[in-house]
Amino acid sequence: MARVSIVGLGLIGGSIGLALRQWMTTPDGRKNSFELIGYDKDGEKANMAARMGVVATVSRDFGGAVRNADMVIICTPALAVREVLTALAPVVSSGAVVTDTTSTKQQVLQWADELLPNNIHFVGGHPMAGGTGGLGDARNNLFTGATYAICPSMRASETAIEQVIMLVRMVGASPLFIDPLEHDAAVAAVSHMPFTLAATLAKVTMDSDGWSEMGKLAATAYREMTRLAEGDPIMHRDILLSNKQAVVSWLDRYVALLFDMRELIKSADPNNPNSEAAKRIEQFFTAARDEREKWLNERSGGNRALESELQNINMGNVLSRGILGGFGRKPQGK
């Protein structure tokens, strides 16, 4: 029977487990032939995952969890991936597919290249959903409709890549092939810089002398703009370290534009909404609003297309479309 192992049972690992468990029974009631096993170095979390039924089996030892696995899904914070790959190298079966879910891809692909044997197929992955919760917030539809970035290593076979695409489909997401360099620059802009900006806003205001009054006046907008500061500090630290160049470069571009705005605001006449500076401020906000609306419209169009595709997958002919073929193809009793 094919074996899938999840290493790291937080929000992401837990949600992947819950999503995959739904496939253990096919829509026509037959059992799918794959085994789902989970591991977390935090014993408390492993116990909780077992109680939640995130995976079929929780292993208390790393070797037992990954030995004979056909696919290993690493769902730890970024810097811990290196440790997992090091521990994985001597025990993982020849031909196995290894994938991860961390937010930076160049660094992880480099580690996989250095640390894993040549006969292991590493395919980097990154689901663009998650939020800021822990295992307790895991749910089987966390990735429904989400984009899932895929960056295969040079040594990954076509079959290995297909199997990761199947995984992506099975958790309800839409695969997007992207160059690791491009990926890291993009997520620095739309994910890593945003959580850094949110935490900076929280810190600069809360550490100020006037905070006791400010806190009373702070409302929805402030709460929303600092929400990403809720995230796990270790996860944030690891992401920033493993994608530092791209993040620093985006922060520089951000500050340059913010400084332009500061200059415009400073130079504008408070009583004259028709001054050149006032017009440029208004244009800035008009463009930001309109471009964002365009993005939201395109995005919802894309989601609608994906939803109808997923509906077709759910329409019963899952096995005939080969979605599970990748796991099912393996010889039984391997």
Cβ-in-10-Å burial (0-12, 13-18, 19+) of 118 comes to exposed
Q: CB of 197: closest distance to a second copy in angstroms?
A: 6
Q: CB of 249: closest distance to a second copy in angstroms?
A: 10
Give the per-residue contact string, 235-274, with a second copy (x = CB under 8 A; - = no).
-xxx-xxx-x--xx-xxxxxx-xxx-xx--xx-xxxx-x-
Q: Which token pair is 305?
A: 């297309």
> Between 138 and 278, whose beta carbon lies closer to a second copy?
278
Q: CB of 169: closest distance to a second copy in angstroms?
A: 17
Q: Which token pair is 266?
A: 């400073």
Q: How far apart are CA 117 and CA 96, in angstroms?
A: 10
> Between 154 and 204, whose beta carbon lies closer to a second copy?
204
Q: CB of 89: closest distance to a second copy in angstroms?
A: 17
Residues in contact with a second copy, total (CB under 8 A)? Answer: 102
Tell which one of 182, 301, 312, 334 touches a second copy (CB under 8 A): 182
Tell which one of 95, 131, 134, 301 touches a second copy (CB under 8 A): 131
Q: How far apart are CA 121 and CA 159, in angstroms?
A: 9
Q: CB of 8: closest distance to a second copy in angstroms?
A: 16
> Between 265 and 315, whose beta carbon lies closer to a second copy?
265
> Between 89 and 251, whose beta carbon lies closer to a second copy?
251
Using the rule CB under 8 A, is 234 a contact of a second copy? yes
Q: Which amino acid type is present at position 233?
A: P
Using the rule CB under 8 A, is 87 a contact of a second copy? no
Site for a second copy in 133-162 (CB under 8 A): 146-147, 149
Site for a second copy in 45-84 (CB under 8 A): 79, 82
Tell which one of 22, 24, 86, 287 touches a second copy (CB under 8 A): 287
Q: How far apart are CA 21 and CA 27, in angstroms?
A: 13
Q: Which amino acid type is present at position 157?
A: S
Site for a second copy in 296-315 (CB under 8 A): 296, 298-299, 302
Of 53-61, 92-100, 283-291, 311-319, the window that binds a second copy (rule: CB under 8 A) is 283-291
- What angle is formed at CA 83 by the lines to CA 77 and CA 88, rounded to 5 degrees? 115
Give the per-residue contact string, 94-113, with a second copy (x = CB under 8 A; - = no).
-------------x------
Q: CB of 309: closest distance to a second copy in angstroms?
A: 16
Give the per-residue contact string, 187-216, with a second copy (x = CB under 8 A; - = no).
x-xxx-xxxxxxxxxxxxxxxx-x--xxxx
Q: CB of 10: closest distance to a second copy in angstroms?
A: 16
